[in-house]
Structure 1
Amino acid sequence: MATFLDFEKPIAELQSRIDELRRTAEGGDVDIAAEIGPLQAKSDRLLQDTYARLTPWQKAQVARHPERPHFNHYVAALIEDFTPLGGDRAFADDAAIIGGLGRFRGRRVMVIGHEKGDDTASRLRHNFGMGKPEGYRKAIRLMQLADRFGIPVLTLVDTSGAFPGVQAEERGQAEAIARSTEQCLNLGVPLIASILGEGGSGGAVALAAGNQVLMLEHAIYSVISPEGCASILWRTADKAADAAEAMKVTAQHLKELGVIDGIVPEPMGGAHRDPQAAIIALGDAIEAGLADLSGLSPQSLRQARRAKFLAMGRV
């Protein structure tokens, strides 16, 4: 059964009635189509109306939905012959950031991204997608490898932010993030970054400084979480909804501001309601992006990337 968010309560109640009717009719000769049809139509309309006017805070909740497809789902569906490459060759392998070689619709690619996990055990194993220094240093190593062999890089971003623990700071978290961002900007091959759910802080931009930055329709991308911003400005996380509105965290706001290049439509009700459709839509957007960038020289790719990010914030 689908997990409904707080603002979806009326939809959940309707769906519960529909499910109850179906259970009642199981094994019997009662025809309930006449009753279920109007209820399902009403539920579909309500879902459409709700998602047509989501607030930034509601979009943040959708972006964090536990059933939303993650890195491993996209790789399984879009990348053939995926071969993960582990370790930063200095300290350890970070399970929060995964990367490797594979083929995307017939083209060799290097895929790097955050993995949050699907259940409690895997979320703990992947540290909820919060990368440590060794994760970003692994990303740097893989980007350098791709650059050496002329292989395009695809990054799949989905993190609330880099891991803020003491051990991460001791191992140079800020330096690792800065170096990873620098490596993105210096690549002589196309880099297409996709924000799948949350794009939080430097932990996201360290993999997202690309030639093209795509965002799923209900993803968010910001320098700090709405709760973190509210705690700083209002001394309470209860103002997270106000912070989300002020920070312009949604794909629609960021496209208007020129921070991202494209918005990938999601199935009605969010990517978690039809993961396969969401994955195919992102694949189509990435394929179009690679086609646009494939003829550019390394120098042109670097110059375009530099111009893109220097233009942000200019009035």
Structure 2
Amino acid sequence: MLLEFEKPIALLEEKLAAMKAKAAQRKASKLLQPIQKLEEQIKTLQAETFKNLTPWQRVQLSRHADRPYTLDYITHMTNDFISLHGDRTGKDDPAIVGGFARLDNQTIMLIGHQKGRTTKERQARNFGMANPEGYRKALRLMKLAEKFNKPIVTLIDTPGAYPGLEAEEHGQAEAIAKNIQSMFDIRVPIICIIIGEGASGGALGIAVGDRILMLENTWYSVISPESCASILWKSWDYKEQAAEVLKLTAADMQKLNLIDGIIAEPLGGAHRNPQEIALTVKTEILKQLETLNKVKSDKRMEERIEKFCKMGMVKE
């Protein structure tokens, strides 16, 4: 899958691959210098392109079909992951996955949205849009982590909570609200990381923590650009303008003091090197846990509450 602004880079990469193949076949040393020159040209173009991305282009990157999801991070950065299922009141929601895992020598509870890679899996996981049972499962796992005094890490990547009739009948709003309320009272450290889309209450249901972090090419907002455009301009054609005015990028969120940090992605986006971004995320989690573990639980909870109470406050 190629995004429109990636096509000039892809054309140069195709040319580079052809030159390398030709050089290998003919053992042509004359091509070494042009190859090096083209490689430098590609790096320069990549740096310029991804340095100046628009908010809408970052939204597109956050939805890239090859972007790593929660299970990819689990594969690349954890050991001994034990998947846990069910909310103990209704059913298991595959849109949210979770369980105990080990980061080096640190045991954590890892919970996250899972969209699915194939069409069949996406349908089974409801494209990462959780039902109330998913949020209740997440809260059950958080309480389990608290019981065993293990820190919690949540990975957020959802276009929103599922808005279907059955979800509403089963108490979607109540489940999300209860999670938000309960996460303030959990005594173990909580780190929340937006790894893709962070839309509305679907994201907030697992996004109350001591540290809120965003990957470089992700977004976090009460509404998607398309939905915002359909409300304000009555057309999805204005989605790019909506992305601009919503101030939904990681840089915007940090400027507004709504997050605590931005995790840099590999040049070209997380999908270019899933293993590298997983290692970067793992390193950041361990660094944050080292700090949070030194703080007494009562003080940590007070700071967590204070952090969210300050959000939205302005001085005139």
TM-score (norm 1): 0.95
Q: Match for residue 242 of structure 2?
A: 243
Match runs of 1:65-76 below 5 Å: 65-76=64-75
Deviations 1:289-312 (A, max 9, x none): 111110223322221111000000
Match runs of 1:77-92 below 5 Å: 77-92=76-91
SS in 2 for 1:186: coil
Whole-angstrom distance in 1 between the partners of 2:45 and 2:67? 21
SS in 2 for 1:92: coil
- Counterpart of 2:97, as a letter, is I
Deviations 1:63-91 (A, max 9, x none): 11111111011111222111011001111
Whole-angstrom distance in 1 between the partners of 2:206 and 2:178? 10
Whole-angstrom distance in 2 between the partners of 1:288 and 1:256? 22
Greater mean deviation of Cα atoms: 71-80 or 292-301: 292-301
Match runs of 1:259-278 below 5 Å: 259-278=258-277
- Quick check: 1:143–1:183 contact (8 Å CA) kept in 2? no
Deviations 1:224-279 (A, max 9, x none): 11111111111111111111111111111101111000111111111111111111
- Counterpart of 2:17, as a letter, is D
Whole-angstrom distance in 2 between the partners of 1:207 and 1:172? 16
- Quick check: 1:186–1:302 contact (8 Å CA) kept in 2? yes
SS in 1 for 2:60: helix
CA drift of 1:30 comes to 4.0
CA drift of 1:59 comes to 0.6
Match runs of 1:59-208 below 5 Å: 59-208=58-207
- Counterpart of 2:120, as a letter, is A
- Counterpart of 1:209, as a letter, is V
Structure 2 gaps of 5+ residues are: none
Q: Match for residue 217 of structure 2?
A: 218
Whole-angstrom distance in 2 between the partners of 1:130 and 1:21? 44
Q: Match for residue 6 of structure 2?
A: 8
TM-score (norm 2): 0.95
CA drift of 1:25 comes to 5.0
- Counterpart of 2:147, as a letter, is R
Whole-angstrom distance in 2 between the partners of 1:120 and 1:42? 37
- Counterpart of 1:221, as a letter, is Y
- Quick check: 1:92–1:134 contact (8 Å CA) kept in 2? yes
Whole-angstrom distance in 1 between the partners of 2:163 and 2:18? 45
- Counterpart of 2:11, as a letter, is E
CA drift of 1:176 comes to 0.9
Q: Match for residue 310 of structure 1?
A: 309
Asked if 1:36 corresponds to 2:32, the answer is: no
CA drift of 1:156 comes to 0.6
Whole-angstrom distance in 1 between the partners of 2:24 and 2:135? 53
Structure 1 gaps of 5+ residues are: none
CA drift of 1:21 comes to 3.2
Deviations 1:119-178 (A, max 9, x none): 222222221111111100000111111112211111011111111111111111111111
Whole-angstrom distance in 1 between the partners of 2:182 and 2:110? 15
Whole-angstrom distance in 2 between the partners of 1:102 and 1:21? 44
CA drift of 1:280 comes to 1.1
RMSD between superposed Cα atoms in Å: 1.4
Overall identity of the aligned pairs, in %: 45
Greater mean deviation of Cα atoms: 196-205 or 74-83: 74-83
Q: Match for residue 17 of structure 2?
A: 19
Whole-angstrom distance in 2 between the partners of 1:20 and 1:161? 43
SS in 2 for 1:110: strand
SS in 2 for 1:194: strand
Greater mean deviation of Cα atoms: 180-189 or 230-239: 180-189
Whole-angstrom distance in 2 between the partners of 1:124 and 1:16? 34
- Quick check: 1:184–1:206 contact (8 Å CA) kept in 2? no
